[in-house]
Structure 1
């Protein structure tokens, strides 16, 4: 059944069941009300008819000279019987039966016993201005309500009445039956409606399950097998749910085709990068070798040629580094396995920081290491490259005098108590990375030359390699940057 929240937040199943229950309740109340009103009207007219017949028989008996007491009338509606009789003379006094001298002032109480009308009840009847049309008079709780009529013959006024209690009892019993039937019907409609709605909406649940399964797939990169489809039984175009299922399958087919096209395009690009990088290594090595050989020539060489050869050698070295980075990324994208030997990160950090200090003595290099060595399973050369790239990034994009701290500890950034994670971080107090650049900082060829001071050129692949190598080690890398503090955090699984 629906919860007590806003109807707008109810499920379709709850709305349908609530609508069924509300409709049944409205129909039951309306039908029950009409039945009770019609029954009450019929019984009331029946009472009036019996009253008129009783009065008519009394008038007939009086015409024959009999007692004005008259006959008691037939059976009353509801199973009861009995009449009210009050005979008054011209002065308003109760007339006595000449046969037994009993006063002609009797009625039947609510318990069905014949009683004599009290003075107060007689006064009530006198003051009621009773005529030849039935009207209702209340004679108190013990005697009840009567429908009464009066007939005058000479100096005698005879008041006859029929009790309305049987009608009231019948109507009350009918109200009870209608209420009980409505409550029972509500329970049956609620339970049966819930079952039927749940059963009829089961195909929609299956369609939603397929959509949820697809939404949980990782579709942003790599080869994607989008095999989820709505079952054929739930794709009947003649039903509303089948139309939804058919539309979802059509959409999934289109998405699957687009993902396959994207995967094929990515594969071709990666293969091209790998092939191009591999093929460029040989000519670049030749260019560099000939440049070095030309500079060693014993014969005098013009100064301009020496300078040009130096620039050729320098740019070939730079291009060779770019080619090596591209080739490494292509190999990582292809899923080439890495070594998983024990690697002492503590010693690796010491070596990397020592090399950075030698390369850039104008920066302040610091280490924050634990007392005990920390090891992780991985590829030593690739993890060393992660540290070298992070330190090189700090050196290239921060001004002289910047303090760069390399720290290593157990536990993650979110939960320092974890023992299955090793956290490696490189933090500097430089100008920081612009907020607009931070979401894309680990993408390939992303460069922050306009935002951070730089002393040397950048290929935009250093941090991409950091992210790719960390991911290949089943770890993750994050960035926290603001003016005066930039921290790259690498989390790796512990041994």
Structure 2
């Protein structure tokens, strides 16, 4: 604004000065026409109204009409006391080269300063007139000083106001930084991590940039806290898993060691023949082998190792599993139902037939072992355009509500419920059957659910169709 003001004011003042210079030249030429002096007469400068510093000059002419000017023959200036003073040769030399064509010129005259000059001829006597530019330059210089002072003060005030406003607007960022520093001091590598400091709610306004930063930091802290909590839960599960696995392996090992010690010492236990001891050792070895194989299978599934992939007809697979379960549990009422949307919708998935058979067999064994004789067990295979569903439903006593949330976890047992006593015939009662079924189902891109109440327990296995994008993906935890 200051530069624009100075530029416009300078242009206005110079324009006004140029008009006054042109008017002075015209007036000088008119004054010469009324005078009868010789060619060097500049007496018109004595006329009233001539300002101090006015300069006038006459040219020598080259034709009879006096229309062409060649050189200056007389030049005077009005002094501050109103008198006329003749210009020196050096001062006249500064006026050389100005032609009587009415154009405006700026020249610096020694001893007088900078002048704005013009020369006119035309039909009259050629004459040169000029006015000093000192007043204009002084006014412009004062304007520059004033505008500079105003600009400096304005910029200083604006800078102070901006600094105050910016500091106030950035205070939320200071609080966000303080929150980040406080969180960074929390030992996240050990112990239970909960209740991490959050950015205050009034500093998370999404309409402001600091608020967006605060909200993003809160989301990151939430993610870190949830990840650490999940890691701690995983560590707890791992410790419990190792403890349960050690306990399960210790039992058959203790039995094997005891029988081996008795047989190696030649001792005979009353009512126990040597062949029976060997049978007991073999049974415990088989139990331990099965447990180890189950643990290895879970480890492979946790690592995301790919299973075999081939088209599998669930109707055939489930029918064979039900037939095997009926042979093992003839005292139960077995029912099989096949439900398809249409004859062109086969119950086919892509996956590992052996592992899928293991899932169905585990669910059937679970229903058989944990329900009393005479219980009806219904197996349903459903096929839709997007999913294949296997339902295993029984009308037994149901799963206790306290056990239901952990029924798919490893080493979970239902010894006190849904049990009719007797040996667990799905693998030694290690509590890994449903965990393995869940891992296999997830490895095939599906899910397994359970709903239970007294008189109705239903396990549901949902698998994607053979052409679904989610079909048969690697299972990773």
What TM-score do you get using the length of structure 1 for normalisation?
A: 0.43
- The structure with the largest alpha-carbon Rg is 2
- Scaled by the length of structure 2, the TM-score of the pair is 0.44
